[in-house]
Structure 1
């Protein structure tokens, strides 16, 4: 099968979407199929392109909103059995409508949480009007949407899209390293890793920490909060202001964006992971945290209810009071209790979130869309 994949970035610039798309299509299940990826050049290409192994990649220079006349011409001239679009709301999104004009091959689109109501609500009225004018044709041209979880299926339907939807979760590559990392100190470390973006709820996490410190100054005597991630639209400045104005500099450390060995070291040295997000698709970082046997503190908006059911996570809501209570619960747990929770998370991902299973389901979906197989039971119409 000839599969054309369009993704906005093949580097760390795309955050969790980079890992999700890369790990799916480099899975051995796809080795007997002909893949071609089209994307855009950016400053991290030289560092990250080798991680795509031997998949052919065609890169284009991006203009504003990733506009590229060359990509448009390339897609018109390229034949494939299926087009898989990764993510929404940039110029390649528009190209789905153009593809359907010149080709009969079906389109599958993976929004990666970009139809989440929180994301839509923050667009503003003018942006929503522009989205409808320029992006609606692309949305209507999709033959099947790929949701990462039941909640994302509901979000796609809530946006008014009627096409079939396949639920295929992200997977995880379990850590292979046997290297022992020496912790930098004797403290416990609570890790946040991801973009510094308003939807991630880092601001309310810091406010909860400040409130908890005022109420119980000794509770952070042996806990450090590590915030790892690259800045999005000057979000870090606002977060640092909260830290400085509440005298949290000895508790909270900003590490910037870390990748490769540096990222692995943060997981290896962590004692717990937190994601107080307002909205997600299916966050890779939580799966990664469980793969490192870390207990997790997360909101229901992270869309992995299995974590609560397996008692692998502490549930918090996306507000200061609830996060404060969640932190208290975590800090009051014994080492044995935290380790047991992390082990339950590891069992959950190792049994239910593997890339082998996700890749096999994606091939089943492709075959159904190209009339080469039966409709899978994970497709909902």
Structure 2
């Protein structure tokens, strides 16, 4: 079974999608009967992150014109040259969708589309008129002609159906790698002078308005948690970090709120390992990798229902917050009212969830069964919905 993975970004510039598509591809590659080839577009972070795809060696293509569209004149011919049985496209709204449609038309072979939260109502309403035009031009055709759409959870499945699509949908989550021994590195906030013994609430992700960070800062000002610091780790998207820093300065929070920039690899692992709790006050997510990583490090989590991990609330691994200043402040108050033993119990429940459902080898095996069904080589898996 030869599968081509097509992505508009092979680097951290894609945010959590980068980790999801990379680790799924690597896990599939390790299965004995799956051959994986990766094709993607070049961006400013590709050279730095390409080694992380090993043992896979992605084909990297340059783009012309606006980066947001990602036009690559050689993409269609490159895809045809892979002679794949199946094409798996990650993400929507870009030229990669156009290329996938042309590949499908030329080969009469099936394609699968991972939507990565991009059909959730918040995401659809963001730049709505542009997406309506793109949808009319090519995106709707790709979504309807796909052999299967890939949703990360039941909430995303419902969003796909609410969008009006009747295409079969497989519900297969993202995964994480379980951390091993404790990292040797000090926590990244140590360099900011956080006193030893003070506690740290960690946010890690893209610095974008949809993540609810402005509301988080407003909540932090309301609560003023004594003995706690807020560590914000992530990459700036569209200048939002400067807006947040100005907000923190105006509110007098600079001694308790620390903007630490992006961290990867061992530095990211050290941040999770040394944090006391994790927060994601997002307005919209597909299935956030950062929450799964926090659970893998046994951290208690505060998150919104929009993170689409309701099993975290049901199991007691997470506290539910609303993406508003008051809603987040209420959640912070509930966290601070708990004892250390109660935090540890939350974290253990999160780790158990990850071990049970969110490791890459088991996710790759499930996706292989989806591929077999799409190719007519096996029965429809339980994770595939056709209604």
Shared fold by TM > 0.5?
yes
Following the alignment from structure 2 to structure 1, what is the Cα–Cα distance between the partners of residues 186 and 374?
50
Once the 2 structures are TM-superposed, how far is the Cα of residue 177 of structure 1 from its aligned partner? 2.8
State the 1:134 CA deviation: 3.8
Which residue in 2 is equivalent to 1:107?
A: 111
CA distance in 2, matches of 1:126, 1:364: 35
1:252 to 257, 269, 286: 257
C-alpha distance in 2 between matches for 1:174 and 1:320: 33
Choose from 216, 235, 244 the match for 2:240.
235
TM alignment of 1:73-222, pairs within 5 A? 73-182=77-186, 184=190, 185-213=196-224, 220-222=225-227
Residue pair 1:95, 1:138 contacting (<8 A) in 2 also = no
C-alpha contact (below 8 Å) 1:283/1:302 kept by paired residues:
yes
Contact persistence 2:93–2:134 (CA under 8 A)? no
CA distance in 1, matches of 2:358, 2:301: 16
Greater shift, 175-184 or 353-362, is seen at: 175-184
Question: 2:241 is paired with a residue of what secondary structure?
Answer: helix
Asked if 2 retains the 8 angstrom alpha-carbon contact of 1:171 and 1:355, the reply is: yes
Q: 1:31: Cα distance to partner?
A: 4.6
**1:143: Cα distance to partner?**
1.3
Aligned with 2:353 (options 348, 363, 373)? 348
TM-score for both structures, normalised by structure 1:
0.95
Larger displacement relative to structure 2 (346-355 or 39-48): 39-48
TM-score normalised by the chain length of structure 2: 0.93
Alignment partners' CA distance in 2, 1:186 and 1:300: 31
SS in 1 for 2:285: coil
State the superposition RMSD in angstroms: 1.5
Conservation of the 8 A alpha-carbon contact between 1:96 and 1:141:
no
Corresponding position: 1:17 with 2:22: no
Q: CA deviation at 1:43?
A: 3.1
CA distance in 2, matches of 1:155, 1:54: 35
Across the two proteins, how many residue pairs are aligned to each other? Answer: 375
Inter-partner Cα distance in structure 2 for 1:31 and 1:53? 17
Pairwise CA distance, 1:74: 1.7
Cross-structure match for 1:71: 75
Deviations 1:132-185 (A, max 9, x none): 224232223311001000011111111111110000111111002333555532
By how many angstroms is 1:126 displaced? Answer: 4.5
CA distance in 1, matches of 2:38, 2:221: 46
**CA offset digits 1:318-348 (Å, max 9, x no partner):** 2221110100111222211111111111111
